[in-house]
Structure 1
Amino acid sequence: MRLGIMIGYAGRRVELPLALIQEADELGVYAVWAAEAYGSDAVTPLAWIGAQTKNIKLGTAIMQMPGRTPANAAMTAMTLNQLSGGRFLMGLGLSGPQVVEGWHGISYARPLSRTREYVEIVRTIFRREERLVHNGRVYQIPYQGDDATGLGKPLKSTLEAAPEIPIYLAAIGPKNVQLTAEIADGWLPIFFSPDKYDEIYKPHVEAGFAKAGVARDGTSKSIANFDIAPTVSVVINDNVDIAYNMLRPMLA
């Protein structure tokens, strides 16, 4: 087991616990994770943290897929990964209809297709083996709509290849959990209880592994080469009742 820190996202002002993060870095804590909703973004704080730490991994939990094109997300990931010396962990998620349609102004339709295509496009960009061409239900690259200029041509990232960047997916529902186990390097579960893993999640995770066949390292995909990184809320207080009441809204 490895430990991490979740700094979440900001309220009115972006204020990060830098001293705590730097101490965690010195103590060997594995990763610091940042989130986003419709205020502060998940990536900018990590860039700021990365410039002031040495070893701790920098993870997004999550970058909202509907809020960025796959190419833009890949550009961001490759840039921060280079600047941080290979410390970036790319956590992606769909968010929800309220934010996707109410904030980003796009349809929430076809969430599973969007996820599969998004990861495929990002990995193609990371590998940098060929120019990017994708014809899917959600994404067309180059764009070929009726209003296309016809000037768009397949491109390839100018940055060095970065196939090593791991991709984590946030997932709750059975189909999304199965898809995550199939195509991602790790899973960012929400409201996760290890005691319920075998009963609720294991069948879907194992089905995803079976569909994938092999992991990116060429070995059979299994729980041994699949990272599960749940967020755990912790309150430190001498009074158990006070601590529990602070967590109660998240446990309901």
Structure 2
Amino acid sequence: MRIGIQAAYAGDFQQTASELKDLESAGLDLAMCAEVYTFDAVSQLGYLAAVTERVELMSGILPIYSRTPALTAMTAAGLDFVSGGRFTLGLGASGPQVIEGWHGVPYDAPLQRTREVVEICRQVWRREKLQHEGKKYSVPLPADQGTGLGKPLKLINTPVRERIPVMLAALGPKNVELAAEIAELWEPIFFMPERAGDVWGDALAAGRAKRDPALGELQVVTGVPVAIGEDAEQLLDAVRPGIALYVGGMGAKGKNFYNDLARRYGFEAEAETVQDLYLAGRKDEAAAALPEELIRATSLIGPESYVAERIAAFAEAGVTTLVLQPLDGSPQGRLRTVETMRRLAG
């Protein structure tokens, strides 16, 4: 089991980078930078590439709508170059609130766009002349849509790797099937080991049936809140507001992927209640209405012996990397968490 950590959205980034070097020495395998309507992830990843030596760097995630496919490919190749071949391109569709509300572009055809973006990236990394005729992207731009002067080009630089690993964040059945078909890694959220097979098993099997063997086995990366100690259970409630934000507040009625996931886990009534309360502005009540079973199963909170059992459960369910969200927010606490997790995860 690999262990990773996500860099904070805000704060003193130089301090974050300095701390990451200590975490790398403690056995951290992966560092992830998110990009929502925050500072961009690419600047931070480039900085981290310069101050680390071994840890894998990952975007978690870049929205597919916010860059052209060619720029996405160039960016990934550039980050892989400055990191010496340590970058993984994490991509996702995000959601209409961010894509239309922040980037101002239509949130359309996420599955088709994802497939084409990955195809174009891999063509760029192979240094082929870029020619792509898809349902959503045509490169070069057809003459009747521009000046007619566009011509096929290939990347000037030679990438460190012609196959940079791609991770797709996905929750819905079709999205998960696509990830299992075309990506090296898949990132679910709120992963519940005991029910993941019921929710995603068929989609994963369908995708794997079409998977190119050259991609290798599908790696599974998921985030987990972590607190380890005999008195750690008191921190379970600290996880509630974050889950409530997603299950209750991300999207609208009938268009919330995380609420749908809670329902598919079997918490239909609770998901309905959480969303109603959250959208009514009663956020504390929404958090309190979350089922404890969901919170416990998607976290690593408790004594070492319990956490070790849960790590084994995640591994048994197919997870290969746990991205830690330490509930002790101090640098010393995060370091202790990584050291303990490294020992427990083997």
The TM-score with structure 2 as length reference comes to 0.66
The amino acid across from 2:77 in the alignment is M
For 2:57 and 2:74, how far apart are their aligned partners in 1? 16
Q: How does 1:146-157 map to 2 (within 5 A)?
A: 146-157=144-155
**Distance in 2, Cα, partners of 1:215 & 1:31:** 25
Q: In structure 2, what is the equivalent of residue 7 of structure 1?
A: 7
Q: Does 1:37 align with 2:27?
A: no
Which residue in the other structure is 2:240 paired with?
A: 248
> 1:71: Cα distance to partner?
0.6
- Quote the offset at 1:7 in angstroms: 1.5
User: Which residue type is aligned with residue 195 of structure 2?
Assistant: K
Q: One-letter code of the match for 2:40?
A: D
For residues 178 and 75 of structure 1, what CA distance do their matches in structure 2 show? 26
1:168-205 Cα shifts (integer Å, max 9, x gaps): 00001010000000000000111111222221112111
Structure 1 alignment gaps of length 5 or more: none
Listed one character per residue, the Cα deviations across residues 25-71 of structure 1 (whole Å, up to 9, x for unaligned) are 11231110010111211111111111111100110110111001111
Displacement of 1:139: 0.7
Q: Which runs of 4+ in 1 moved over 3 A?
A: 13-16, 235-242
Please give the per-residue CA displacement for 1:139-159, whole angstroms capped at 9, x wherever unaligned. Answer: 110111644101110100011
- CA separation of 1:215/1:250 partners in 2, compared to 1, >3 Å: closer, same or farther? farther
Q: Which has the higher helix share?
A: 2
Superposed displacement of residue 14, structure 1: 5.1
Q: Secondary structure at the match of 1:33?
A: strand
Contact persistence 1:236–1:243 (CA under 8 A): no
Kept in 2: contact 1:182–1:211 (CA 8 A): yes
> How many angstroms does 1:163 deviate by?
1.9
Please, what is the CA RMSD of the aligned residues?
1.9
Tell me how far apart the structure 1 counterparts of residues 46 and 21 of structure 2 sit (CA, whole Å).
Answer: 14
CA distance in 1, matches of 2:179, 2:15: 30
Of 142-151 and 34-43, deviating more is 142-151
5+ residue gaps, structure 2: 244-289, 291-346
Q: Residue in 1 aligned with 2:213?
A: 215
The 2-side partners of 1:116 and 1:78 are apart by 18
Identical aligned pairs, as a percentage? 43
- The corresponding residue for 2:124 is 125
> 1:91 aligns to what SS in structure 2?
strand
| Alpha carbons 2:122, 2:163 under 8 Å: kept | no
Q: Report whether the alignment pairs 1:230 with 2:228.
A: no
Equivalent residues of 1:132, 1:155 under 8 A apart: yes
Q: Which structure has the greater CA radius of gyration?
A: 2
Larger relative contact order (CA 8 Å, sep ≥ 6): 2
